[in-house]
Amino acid sequence: MRAAIFRGGDIVVDTLPAPVPGIGQVLVKTLACGICGSDLHAAKHAHRMVAVAKRTPGRVPMDLSRDIVFGHEFCCEVLDYGAKTERSLKPGTRVCAMPLMIEADGPKGMGYSNTYVGGYAEQMLLSAPLMLEVPNGLPTEHAALTEPLAVGVHAVEKGALRGDEAPLVVGCGPVGLAVIAALRLKGIRPIVAADFSPKRRELAIKMGADIVVDPAQESPYARLAADKRAAIFECVGVPGLLQQVFEKAPRDARIVVAGVCMEPDAIEPMFAIFKELSLQFVLGYTPEEFARSLRLLADGKVDAEALITSKVGLDGVKGAFEALANTEQHTKILVEPWR
């Protein structure tokens, strides 16, 4: 099968052996797979990601000397089942799944793995118990947004907001937009959202933001309701951002760190101490949140179409990684490996 492979620090298209499903595994055809900002970060900071994974119990670091196929936001079609595996859904059924393979000693990630290819390949393996059927009528490209939406849903849940906070979303890339959608669905308003890009601010409004701010023009913190506790969602994930939030946040603010900063960062703790700030770092989602996100999309609760700015085949993956640097033009690019 063909795949867009992370090999030697570059993205190359080549042929790989088709995966063979084992017990509890399902062979699927990849219909669509979104490119995540974490894939761009991983391509740029692969060695750092490996170094941190090596020092974190329970995480399997990538071996960068071997092939890796990224892609963890996928919608697929069932092709075949491994031995002794209940054939719960007919071949041809469209499915989504958390990008995890359940093994005897616990779940293993896919997409940043030497063992399990991600969605930038014509075929992949899923864990049978994690498959969720795409509700009839939900377009494949919208179903592929389940994963990034779940990230936003989880950030809002894990942030343990009481519902009476004044939310501010810093950064309106896919993560920030998903957070805005999740806040709106939970009724936590008014939602203030900040991004330098006019296009991203427009999308923020489509996702449910009440007030959008260009930080080059005014401070988004000035738009927070003064009588409520601020809940600030850091959805950028670059060094320096956290310290910026420390300096700008009002007293007692709750900061949910949803941006995935893979580089070392510098902070001045005194700002956080003086203001008694609290932080919740978040990653991923629960199975319930993932399933809920798929239902939200199927019920038309989120304007999925607005988020998709381009579709490419495997040959277009490398160019798409570069194109995504242009936030004015692109939000979510879907890879369709069968093209």
85, 88, 93, 278: which one contacts a copy of itself (CB under 8 A)?
278
Tell the smallest beta-carbon distance from residue 229 to a copy of itself (Å): 13
Examine residue 52 and tell whether it contacts a copy of itself (CB under 8 A).
yes
Residues 6+ apart with CB under 8 A from 198: 214, 328
For residue 80, what are the β-bridge partners? Answer: 27
12 binds a copy of itself per the rule CB under 8 A = no
- State which residue, 95 or 230, has the beta carbon closest to a copy of itself: 230
Burial 93-112 (b: 16+ CB within 10 A, else e): ebbbbbbbbeeeeeebbbbb
Give the H or E element holding residue 6.
strand 2-7
Closest distance between a copy of itself and the C-beta of residue 260, in Å?
6
Residue 148 gets which letter from DSSP? H
The verdict on 3 binding a copy of itself (CB under 8 A) reads no
- Binding a copy of itself (rule: CB under 8 A), the pick from 87, 135, 281, 338 is 281
Residue closer to a copy of itself by CB (options 234, 336) is 234
Alpha carbons 192 and 215: distance in angstroms, whole number: 12
Q: What is each CA distance from 294 to 36, 72, 211, 297, in whole angstroms? A: 17, 15, 27, 5
From 63, 103, 218, 268, residue interacting with a copy of itself (rule: CB under 8 A): 268
* Selected binder of a copy of itself within 262, 298, 306, 323 (CB under 8 A): 262
Residue number with CB closer to a copy of itself (22 or 239): 239
Q: Is 267 in the site for a copy of itself (CB under 8 A)?
A: yes
Nearer to a copy of itself by Cβ, of 280 and 310: the residue is 280
Contacts 24+ apart (CB under 8 A), 305-310: 305/142, 306/203, 306/206, 306/207, 307/145, 307/174, 307/177, 307/203, 307/331, 307/332, 308/141, 308/145, 308/332, 308/333, 308/334, 309/333, 310/334
Name the residue nearer to a copy of itself (CB basis): 14 or 247: 247
Largest Cα separation within the chain, whole Å, is 61
* Count of CB atoms situated within 10 Å of the CB of 244: 14
Residue owning tokens 């580089």 = 263
> Are 42 and 112 contacting, i.e. CB atoms less than 8 angstroms apart?
yes
Least distance (Å) between residue 182 CB and a copy of itself: 17
Nearest to a copy of itself of 265, 315 (CB atom): 265
Within residues 56-95, the interface with a copy of itself by CB under 8 A covers 56, 58-59
| Crossing angle of the two packed helices 146-158 and 174-186, in degrees rounded to 10 | 60
Interaction between residue 253 and a copy of itself (CB under 8 A)? no
Instruction: Please state the closest distance from residue 53 (CB atom) to a copy of itself, in A.
Output: 8
Q: What does the angle CA 184 – CA 119 – CA 115 come to, to the nearest 5 degrees? A: 120
Stretch that binds a copy of itself, among 9-17, 62-70, 267-275, 303-311 (CB under 8 A): 267-275
Q: Is 236 in the site for a copy of itself (CB under 8 A)?
A: no
Does 261 engage in binding with a copy of itself (CB under 8 A)? yes
For tokens 């009839």, name the residue: 136
* Binding of residue 225 to a copy of itself (CB under 8 A): no
Q: Does 283 bind a copy of itself (CB under 8 A)?
A: yes
338 touching a copy of itself, by CB under 8 A: no
Q: In whole angstroms, give the CA distance from residue 140 to residue 24.
A: 24
**Min CB(250)–a copy of itself separation in Å:** 9
Residues that bind a copy of itself (CB under 8 A): 48-49, 52-53, 55-56, 58-59, 158, 242, 247, 251, 257, 260-262, 264-283
